[in-house]
Structure 1
Amino acid sequence: MNKITQLCIILGMIVISATAQQADVKGAFLEKWENSKIYMLAIAEAMPEEYYDFKPTERQMTFKEQLMHIKSNMDWLSGTYFSTSESERGKNILPTTKAETIAILSEAFNNTKSILEKVPLKDLKETVTFFAGDKSKLQILNLLQDHVTHHRGQLIVYLNLNEIEPPGFVGW
């Protein structure tokens, strides 16, 4: 085999390996999760600290409560359905400052990522008992992102109501 053929085989294997990693649902999720974190933290940074207790109506959560609700849901879903370790389940801490709130939120994103990195891809096919009926772990993974997206959309409205321009979208 000549050197050009060997080089083509090696390059082909690299391309196949990279394509397989991109096609991996967990790998794609983790890449999206990191971008979701970046975008969420940019939104949290955009709101001035004096507006962290703002809520559009009496029946809604404050900006800070929304952020902590997102954090709690990440802890619950990742800790309950993807981990058996009590130490990975996060703690409900009510922050007092913007900086503390952002740090806690960032840590929750990182903890969720760390938990999910350990989950074998085959486990996403497993069915778990969920309050809305039995779901696959892949469905729980999708819910994890959908919940963040849902509340992040509300937070963008909070920014707009205070005439604060939201950060540009960070997607895939």
Structure 2
Amino acid sequence: MSYKPWEKGMSLAQLVLHITGAMDMFAKTVQNGVYTPGAKPAAPSTIEELKSVVAAATEQTEAVLRSLTPEQLEAPIDFFGNSLSGHALLQNAKDHEIHHKGQLFIYLRLIGIEQLPFYVSKG
């Protein structure tokens, strides 16, 4: 969990928490109509704790996403000087997650993990 491919990079665990925290931030920002920081969980010390944190964060973020109204998705949101609709901001969230999941897969390959979950359509 502490593996870093370079000195200034995020550790594997930090990268995983960044992915879930950022998605939480994007979802809550659309929900609130204003930038809302994501949750900052305590650093887990085991892979089981990391999995538990990710599962809980995913469940909470999914609940926020499911609660969004058409009005929230269409409303303009000032996001660091850019005015974006909720839809556009969530597209950015998806692109951000894809980018970092690609990095995560490289981290895992570099530490010798060969069996990785690939894209699964959940409909």
- Sort the TM-score into its range (normalised by shorter chain): 0.7 to 0.9
- Tell me, which stretches of 5 or more residues in structure 1 are unaligned? 1-51
When residues 119 and 113 of structure 1 are mapped into structure 2, their CA distance, relative to the original with a 3 A threshold, is: same
Deviations 1:116-169 (A, max 9, x none): 111112431111010151111001111222221111100111111122114241
Partner letter of residue 114 of structure 1? A
Following superposition, the deviation at residue 80 of structure 1 comes to 2.6
**Distance across 2 between alignment mates of 1:171 and 1:155:** 17
Deviations 1:54-74 (A, max 9, x none): 111112111001011112212
- Trace 1:136-155 onto structure 2 (pairs within 5 A): 136-155=85-104
Moved over 6 A (4+): none
- Tell me, which stretches of 5 or more residues in structure 2 are unaligned? none
Is structure 2 residue 44 aligned with structure 1 residue 95?
yes
SS of the residue corresponding to residue 104 of structure 2 reads helix
**Distance across 1 between alignment mates of 2:99 and 2:81:** 18
Is structure 2 residue 65 aligned with structure 1 residue 116?
yes
Q: How many residues align?
A: 117
Q: Which residue of 2 aligns with 1:54?
A: 3
Greater Cα radius of gyration, structure 1 or 2: 1
Is structure 2 residue 16 aligned with structure 1 residue 63?
no
Structure richer in helix, relative to its length: 1
Percent identity for Structure 1 against Structure 2: 29
* Root mean square deviation of aligned Cα: 1.8
Partner letter of residue 135 of structure 1? L
Return the TM-score normalized by structure 1.
Answer: 0.62
Structure richer in strand, relative to its length: 2
Q: Which residue of 2 aligns with 1:162?
A: 111
**Distance across 2 between alignment mates of 1:111 and 1:83:** 15
When residues 100 and 83 of structure 1 are mapped into structure 2, their CA distance, relative to the original with a 3 A threshold, is: farther
Q: Which residue of 2 aligns with 1:41?
A: none
Q: Which residue of 2 aligns with 1:75?
A: 24
Higher relative contact order (CA 8 A, sep 6+): 1
Deviations 1:17-65 (A, max 9, x none): xxxxxxxxxxxxxxxxxxxxxxxxxxxxxxxxxxx11111112111001
Following superposition, the deviation at residue 92 of structure 1 comes to 2.8
Return the TM-score normalized by structure 2.
Answer: 0.84
Contact 1:127 1:134 in 2 (8 A): yes
SS of the residue corresponding to residue 96 of structure 1 reads coil
